[in-house]
Copies of this chain bind each other. A is one copy, B any other.
Amino acid sequence: MSKSALVIIAQGSEEMETVITVDMLRRAGVSVTMAGLDGNSPVLCSRQVTLVPDKSLADALAEKPQYDAVILPGGLEGSDRLSKSDVVGTLLKEHEGSGKIIAAICAAPTAFVAHGVGKGKKITSYPTTKDKITSDYTYIEGERVVIDGNFVTSRGPGTAYWFGLSLIELLTDKEKAAQVEKGMIITGY
C-alpha cells in the first residue's frame, strides 16, 4: 500500500512550496491529501495564486487520523495561521508521539515552536525566521534540508525540490527519489 502524506494549507501559504511538494510526492506514488485548514474552499496563497484543497482538514482527519507524513508549507501568513491552530497543534503532537514524519519548510518550522513539538531536534527554516526558533532546538544553516529523526525541515521556495526529494526518500526509497529527480530534470538537463 502506498504511503500517505497530509499537506495543510491556509490563507497566505507559499504556493510554490505547496505545489512542488504535492506534485513531487505524487510523482513518487505517495497518496497526498492537500487539506485546507479552514475548510475545502479555494485558498488564496502568498503570491495570489488560488489553490483548491482536496478536502478540509477536518474531513481529512475524520477519514484518516494518522498519515505517514504531515507537511507544513511556508509563507509568513500561512505559517502564522498553522501556528495558531489548535487542530494543527494536536495533530503534530499525535504524529510526534507515534514517530511519523513531520516536515516544514520556510517559515513553517515556527509552527513547531508554537506547538512545542520536536524539542531537542536539529532544524532549519527561512533565514529571517531564525530568531523565532528558540534554544529548545539546534538551528542549522548552510543545508538545503535538515533531517533529524522524523523531523524534516528546509529553508525556502528555492530549496523545495530537495525538500521534496528528501521526503520521497524517507517515504519510499532512494531509487524512487532518483527516478523523480531524473524525470523532473533537476539534474541531467
Give the B-binding residues of A (Cβ under 8 A): 14-16, 19-20, 22-24, 26-27, 34, 42, 46-52, 54, 126-127, 141-144, 155-159, 161, 181, 183-187, 189
Contacts and interface: CB of A to CB of B under 8 A. Distances in A.
Nearest to A14: B23
B52 A50 contact: yes
Given A16-B20, A157-B184, A184-B158, A142 B189 contact: yes
A185 B22 contact: no
A159 B189 contact: yes
8 contacts: A23-B157, A42-B42, A42-B52, A127-B185, A141-B189, A158-B186, A158-B187, A159-B189
A161 to B, nearest CB: 6
A23 B51 contact: no
A54 B49 CA distance: 8
Complex A-B, nearest 10 residue pairs according to Cβ-Cβ distance, in ascending order:
A158-B186, A158-B184, A156-B185, A50-B52, A158-B185, A157-B184, A19-B19, A23-B47, A26-B47, A16-B23
Contact of A15 (B19, B157, B185): B19
A51 B48 contact: no
A94 to B, nearest CB: 27
A185 B126 contact: yes
A24 B17 CA distance: 12
Contacts of A126: 185
B52 A34 contact: no
Nearest to A19: B19
A101 B121 CA distance: 47
A189 B157 contact: no
Given A34-B49, A42-B42, A158-B187, 18 more contacts: A15-B19, A16-B19, A19-B20, A20-B20, A22-B49, A23-B46, A26-B47, A49-B51, A50-B51, A51-B52, A52-B52, A127-B185, A141-B189, A156-B184, A157-B185, A158-B181, A158-B184, A161-B161
